[in-house]
Chain A
Amino acid sequence: MKENSLWKDAFRRLTMDKWALGSLIIVLIYSSVALLAAMGIIAGDWAKEVGASNMAPNGDHWLGTDIFGRDVLSKVLRGTQIAMSVGLVTSLIAIPIGVVLGALAGYFGGWVDDLITWLYTTFSSIPNIMLLISITMILGKGIFAVYIALGATSWVTLCRLIRGEVMKHKEREYVQAAGAIGGGHFRKLFLHILPNVTHIVIINTSLQFQFAIKSEVILSYLGLGVQGEPSWGTMIDDAKLELSRGVWWQLAGATTAMFLVVLAFNLLGDALRDSLDPKLKGK
């Protein structure tokens, strides 16, 4: 099949790019750490007191201990689960909504466009922070509220981008041509236009992932973060109080963990784009 070879080809080129390959490996490692942590296989005992409070990094505890004498490394590993799930779930919420609504609005225009534009304009015109705070107020705090709040606020960007891009493609010759040979709306939209805007989705997803991971830090700063579980956000927020007394290891651990995965997602997004974009084929 044609489709198959496209993806195979893309994969082949992806593995040739060593930065992309490295990023892929990092993302895979994080994903498996997250999975293992979720199943309780690693860092299951993060809550245990293993030493004195705020111990500096040493041979037993590579990243030292936190204020309650818990191992910071375990907390970082456990935090991976929160970070990855926040990224994944918010993307799963945001992408389908954003793509479908954006494509319909951009393609059909008219009242469909008006309705969808009304919906996302209303949503996106209210400052994010207000929506985030009020949604967490309603749902009660915790990971579930973080998912919904971030998902509900981030489909808008994608929707807008897709709409703009579809508007542009609709006018292009190949779509006009498809129309001329009798392609239906559905066919034109999903078979001709959408594949040409996939790269927007892919770039957006990788951005979405890192945005969600970073937003979790801001939510934690505002006191709306995850409860009862260590997350990178709460660890960085703790650092606000600890840094001045020389306790840098929580910040360092969480920031490094976050840095690597965000970097990997970004590089991977670029590489995927380069290898998937139909226009870049053969280059």
Chain B
Amino acid sequence: MKSLVFVLSCLMLSFACSKEKTFDEREINLISPEKISGFDPINASDRYSGNETGKVYEGLFEFHPLKRPYELMPNLAESLPVVSSDGLTYIFKIRKGVLFHDSPAFKDGVGREMKASDIIYSIKRLADPKLNAKGWWLLDDRLVGLNEWRTKNSTTENTNYEEEIEGLKKIDEYTLQMRLKKPYPQFLYALAMPYTFIVAREAVEHFGKEFLNYPVGTGAFVLPKFEQSSMITYLRNTKFRDKFYPSEGEEGDDKLGLLADAGKKIPLIDKITVHVVVESQPKWLSFMKAKDDLLEVKDVNIQQTINSKKELKDEHKEKGIRLIMKPMLDVTYFAFNHEEPIFKNRKLRQAMNLAFDRATYNRLFHENTAFDAHGPVPPGLGGQTKEFKNPYIKYDLDQAKKLLAEAGYPGGKGLPTIVVQTRSDTISRQQIEFFEKCMEKIGINIDAGTNTWPELVNKVTKKQHQMYTMAWGADYPDAENFLGLLYCPNQAPGSNGANYCNPDFDAIYKQATIMQDSPERTTLYEKLNEMVALDAPWIFGFHRTDIYLAQAWLKNFKHMEFNHSQFQYLNVDLEVKKQLSKKF
């Protein structure tokens, strides 16, 4: 038996060794921690499918890869739009000379130029009732006539794309006019998200239901056919238009070498290979074997990455590995269901906030890299201020017990066991166990309900829960995206799964969301943030930190929250790779 295993191993070794590494291919290896199901922009709802879609497709706008705070720059649009004084009419100039990828869908197989009608088509497609896109919420009730068009077509056999919509007008081949129903200050952000990436009608019709496997975009990379596999290989788009690496960025970017390629034509690499790896151990090991160039470090591996001073460990420094740590635009929380009578009691909610030992939780589960959430809005967005301290998020058992008694439940007496719904993975199980122990200290009994993802979503949308745990990541850099989680009309099945309703809050929120970005709006956001923070609609958790490890030879990587467009700027230094690879 042993000899057989030995022979087998030898056989495999010979195969493994036959693939000797070469250092002449300008290739980058990345990891996707989730399976990719397809390449249809209108359904690219999570970060990882957005990342893949963004390598092939493009939108009218994109976030500047270097500048912070995030700044939009025109991409397929030639410039920022001209907006009418009432903020409702937008005129877009479309960039000339943008070509779709070559594809059998086009005449002679050669990609044609992208024009205004493609943008209209792509937006209509997002609204197509037959497709029921995950991204429809983005433009739901926004453009004049679009909802009516959707409703009208929901009963017909075929969706009528020929019909003109008042809010989406072609002025000429390179000029487009869009009209909004009411001010939508986040509109341009919406046009930078994967949902609104531009697709070609020929490709959609040629490939039909298989369209999601044959992405035909305008982006810097091409993928002729997508196979559901653990590896996706993109090749450089040889016909990519003249697009250049930016020559200015945030202060300090030049010192970090992020401007070394300023003014060069992108893409700078020939190939991107994305490996789909779900479990944390193989992800970590592959990166440490230099099979991958970039690693998003999750909870489990943080301790192996940094020391107690939050610096990169020496063993990694030796190999030239870089550490990139930046706060994320997200918030984690334990939501109360405000339709449960007991949680109408503000003092109870505040008491539970006070009894949650955030410091220990942060140490156990985030290696102290997360930041206490004082309210729903994360730092880095207008609406959150350093000065505001939520008095209920400190760990104070005496105060908690006092408030609990005032709430009418001295020592927890009279309170039923509260069931918190959470996900069933290992970390969630440990986290809820910790939460149980915290609440036990003030006499509140917690029971964990663990769920698969569909079960949890179902319970929340059907309001069949007392409490649940959640993490919310920003769709775009605007506090509205977070404050909306507590807006009454958004309650389940919407994003306000806590079913929190506060008329005062709602009134100001309604007013703020139709204002353009301005100091006045920021003041309103701040007011909203502080108002709900003190009312304790959730047990506030954390704003987490994004931690990345990058190999020394990976160039031009800068942390980016909305990173679907950043891959076209990456570069690789083969000389460095050749030298350092001996250390792995």
Contacts and interface: CB of A to CB of B under 8 A. Distances in A.
Determine direct contact between A and B, CB below 8 Å: yes
Contacts of A223: 423-426, 429, 450, 452
Contacts of B47: none
A67 B364 contact: yes
A223 B427 CA distance: 10
B450 to A, nearest CB: 6
A67 B430 contact: yes
Interface residues of A, number: 19
Interface in A219-272: 222-224, 227-228, 234, 237-238, 240-241, 243-245
B455 A137 contact: yes
Interface stretch (B185-193, B225-233, B298-306, B472-480): B298-306
A49 to B, nearest CB: 8
Contact of B434 (A68, A234, A240, A241): A68
Nearest to A228: B448
B328 to A, nearest CB: 20
Contacts of A222: 424
Nearest to B434: A68
Interface string A110-141: 00000000000000000000000100010001
Contacts of A238: 426, 430
A70 B429 CA distance: 16
A128 B455 CA distance: 20
A53 interface: yes
A224 B437 contact: no
B284 interface: yes
Interface residues of B, number: 26
B280 A234 contact: no
B433 interface: yes
A227 B430 CA distance: 11
Secondary structure at chain B's binding surface: helix, strand, loop or mixed?
Answer: helix
Nearest to A47: B437
Contact of A241 (B300, B448, B450, B452): B300
Contact of B304 (A137, A228, A245): A245
A231 to B, nearest CB: 12
Contact of B426 (A227, A228, A241): A241
Contacts of A237: 426
A53 B430 CA distance: 13
A241 B303 contact: no
A240 B284 CA distance: 13
Nearest to A66: B430
Contacts of A234: 429
B301 A244 contact: yes
A53 B360 CA distance: 10
B281 interface: yes
A68 B437 contact: yes
A241 B434 CA distance: 16
Nearest to A141: B450
B303 A245 contact: yes
A228 B426 CA distance: 13
A245 B313 CA distance: 13
A47 to B, nearest CB: 9
Interface centre among B284, B423, B426, B452, by most chain A C-beta atoms within 10 angstroms, is B426
Interface in A144-201: none
B378 to A, nearest CB: 25
Interface in B265-282: 279-281
Nearest to A240: B426
A244 B305 CA distance: 11
Contacts of B455: 137
A222 B426 CA distance: 9
Contact of A244 (B281, B427, B437, B448): B281
A114 to B, nearest CB: 37
Contacts of A245: 300, 303-304
Nearest to B424: A223
7 contacts: A68-B364, A223-B424, A223-B426, A223-B450, A241-B300, A241-B426, A245-B304
Task: Rank and list the top 8 A-B pairs by shortest CB-CB distance, nearest first.
Answer: A223-B424, A245-B303, A241-B300, A237-B426, A223-B425, A141-B450, A241-B426, A244-B304
